[in-house]
Structure 1
Amino acid sequence: MSESFEGRRVLVVSANYAPEHAGVAPYSTGIAEHLADRGARVDVLAAMPHYPAWRVHDDYRGRWRMVEWRGGVRVHRRRGFVPARQTAARRAAYELSFLAHGSLRPPAGRPDVVLSQVPSLAGGLLGGRIARRHGVPHIVVMQDLMGAAAAQSGIRGGGRAAALAAGAEARVLRSAALVGVVHESFTDRVTAAGVSPARIRVVPNWTHARSPSGERRAARARLGWAEGECVLLHAGNMGLKQGLEVLIDTARLAASRTPRTRIVLMGDGSRRAHLATLAADVPNVDLLPPAADAEFADVLAAADVLVVTQRASVLDMSLPSKLTSYFASGRPVVASVAPTGGTADEVRRSGAGVVVRPEDPEALYGAARALAEDPGRAAALGARGPAYVRERLSRQAGLGRMTALLAEAMAGQAPAVGLSDG
């Protein structure tokens, strides 16, 4: 990471930013603060913190716009519509409100480069407009593919919205100097949108979780997990695309067959209340709030199996950011996901887990029980995770890829392609 950013001005456009601690925010925050540490003057255009609960954090309620300093970065907040329930129409209103407010009052001054983090499609549009206005390079990093997300996530009205989202997304991508994708499985859709492969770079996310303390027994006792109890843990967003109902059904199977199996869903999201209702009569399901950052790694390591789930329709729209933390924990992963999608590819490549059919509680239960009954295999899978993180997903490697992307765009000084805003 030898690139110098001394005296450079960088604008990061990301609806999600610290103090949000899940999803895209840790990566937007990590790169912005890293660039500031390297001498850049960094501004961030962001929404008011609201994810994953999909409600504005208490400290920011009632604010319309504001500027705050975090970690040497100047963060420009813009208020927008935050839907408690997810439908295609509500998501469109969320995007349009951020786009409108960000367009009315963008950060002042001419940046040397603009970096947009998408899953906010509005963020990509805003970044492109600002870059074109100043004639500077625009880099888009695709954390999620929004056209595919509308079609695959199960959001109400998503099928009708998919074509519109894909069209806007293609416009953003084609106008960018460089496009980063967090997984190779995104590449085909990006090229299909009209982007030359020569302008695409793979920039995997890095693990931002701390290493476990090693006090696993103490962590389990603190959480109320008994010795000899097999704990399956899902940690992260509780949204539509996760299809977490399969875990409630898996818990019902376990309750009748192996009562000392506990299913834990830890996190927040638009489907949390729905899942709580489904689990009301299931004795071996616990719903926990998100763990504090200082405790998160120890909670993951205290589980016996870490679970990632997705609806069967989710193929190539996203890569769960939780995987980087899962791998770092040293526990085996069971992925209940489409076998041909990017998530399945990543779990297989890591060697740290197994893939089973999505939305199939029998398959998920069977995989978890097989690991519980073969502790040697579970330990071997778990050990591969930290090794994979060291090889591919370290913070140093991730930030190095991102700074190289920015340096390449600025060295070429390729401005955003001149498409009109109309």
Structure 2
Amino acid sequence: MRILIVTQYFWPETFRINDLALALSERGHIVEVLTGKPNYGKSGFYSNYSFFNKQSETWNGIKIHRSSLIPRGNAGKVRLIINYLSFALFASIKAFFLPGKVDRIFVFEPSPITVGFPALLLKWKKKASIYFWVQDLWPQSVTAGGGIKNKIVVNFLDKITRWIYERSDKILIQSEAFREIIFNQGVNPEKIIFYPNSVEAIFKKKKAHPEYIRMLPEGFKIMFAGNIGEAQDFETILAAAALVKGKNKAIKWVILGNGRKREFVEKRIVELDLQECFFLMGEFPVVQMPDFFACANCLLVSLKKDYIFSLTIPSKLQSYLACGKPILASLDGEGGRIIKEAKAGLVSESENPKLLAEKVIEFYNLTTAELDEIGQNARAYFESNFEREILVDKLEDIFLKNE
């Protein structure tokens, strides 16, 4: 099949769609990507990219068509809106002139929903079916994570979302909990298909390497990897760390990543006198994550208390499960349910630092054998539910059934 992926984010930005594109290409499909100039997590474009250059390039045999856009900058509300709309506009123009035949259009939507505009133009021009993979619910995720509460704006975004869903041939959802909300947005239930995220093949259980052990503090290591943002609720994590510190100084919190809340976290570490137990390590390439995870005693995932967040499976959860490590969660809803079902760790409700601290101490008091068993449960659940090749098989089947 000739598959065109439409996504605002793609390599060298680190999103799950990169690996899925590779997996489809490995299966012999001709894969091309319509995307933006890489800028996610930066104040401007990535090195060697600009508004005008690199309109196309090839990565691992995949042809990439790059649309111009206005970078996210400091990722403030206004700048994000400009970023989203500029991609929708310039990608639509780019889409109109894309040559060649397309059999399937696959849309990756971790936000914004406006990625649907160039995809719909391509559907009309190429006479191809659209498979819209929903990672973030709109407009709900905007109100929860972006702080937009104006009813006129929210209703307008809801109408756009319904319009895009209605014109897509299939709606793929990363969490079963999304089904009811999307159905209530007027989508035919037969169009909705559960299709969760997997992870790159590099995510697997590894032995701790001395090189990585030396980079980390000594003690019982609770490790978080990912965005230091509003949604990740570092207020609760830091408050729990302060409570734990008074009971056990051997417990260390290790944070891999960066984000808009880093400055806040740095300030609170000092205010709560956590310098000896809370460590911001910065960003590392994704290929190094399994080696870091191997050195951890447990892996931390957290989200703020919000109905929409409770419906989401945090993308890092599959990575943690794949690496066969015990998981410590400050989560409500679907993510917590999966951890409990898998017997892969301990779960505290969101925004409850006291309970999270108790779960940390509970983990610390487990034997090495008990921690190993929990890690084995995690890996087994991943292999049964989120393994890469199984999910690629499923996507190919979804594509073929619509012929």
TM-score by length of 1: 0.87
Give the conservation status (yes or no) of the 8 Å contact 1:65–1:79.
no
Give the counterpart letter for 1:291 in structure 2: F
2:244 aligned with 1:254:
yes
How many residues are paired up? Answer: 394
Q: What are the equivalent positions in structure 2 for 1:20-419 lying under 5 Å apart?
A: 20-21=13-14, 25-26=15-16, 28-53=17-42, 55-61=44-50, 63=52, 66-106=55-95, 107-119=98-110, 120-153=112-145, 155-158=146-149, 160=151, 161-208=153-200, 210-211=202-203, 214-216=206-208, 218=210, 221-226=213-218, 229-281=219-271, 282-283=274-275, 284-313=277-306, 314-316=308-310, 318-338=312-332, 341-375=333-367, 376-409=369-402, 411=403
SS of aligned partner of 1:359:
coil
Which segment is superposed worse, 101-110 or 211-220?
Answer: 211-220
**Bigger relative contact order, structure 1 or 2 (CA pairs below 8 A, ≥6 apart):** 1
Give the conservation status (yes or no) of the 8 Å contact 2:175–2:311.
no
Which segment is superposed worse, 211-220 or 186-195?
Answer: 211-220
CA distance in 1, matches of 2:20, 2:204: 23
CA distance in 2, matches of 1:258, 1:62: 51
CA distance in 2, matches of 1:53, 1:328: 28
Where does structure 2 lack aligned partners over 5 or more consecutive residues?
none
| 1:286-329 deviation per Cα after TM superposition (whole angstroms, max 9, x unaligned) | 11223323321021121112111101014356321111110122
Q: 1:270 to 1:56 in 2, by over 3 A?
A: farther
What is the alpha-carbon root mean square deviation over aligned residues?
2.2
TM-score by length of 2: 0.91
Which segment is superposed worse, 180-189 or 35-44?
Answer: 35-44
Q: 1:396 to 1:19 in 2, by over 3 A?
A: same
Give the counterpart letter for 2:36 in structure 1: A
1:190 CA displacement: 1.1
Q: 1:279 to 1:77 in 2, by over 3 A?
A: farther
Q: 1:359 to 1:82 in 2, by over 3 A?
A: farther
Give the counterpart letter for 1:353 in structure 2: G
Give the conservation status (yes or no) of the 8 Å contact 1:145–1:317.
no
Q: 1:236 to 1:192 in 2, by over 3 A?
A: same
Q: 1:391 to 1:54 in 2, by over 3 A?
A: farther
CA distance in 1, matches of 2:201, 2:73: 27
Give the counterpart letter for 1:370 in structure 2: E
Give the conservation status (yes or no) of the 8 Å contact 1:78–1:101.
yes
SS of aligned partner of 1:232:
strand
**Dislocated runs of 4+, deviation >6 Å:** none
Where does structure 1 lack aligned partners over 5 or more consecutive residues?
412-422
CA distance in 2, matches of 1:405, 1:308: 31
CA distance in 2, matches of 1:285, 1:61: 37
Give the conservation status (yes or no) of the 8 Å contact 1:116–1:138.
yes
Which segment is superposed worse, 277-286 or 210-219?
Answer: 210-219
CA distance in 2, matches of 1:56, 1:249: 35
Task: State percent identity of aligned pairs.
Answer: 21
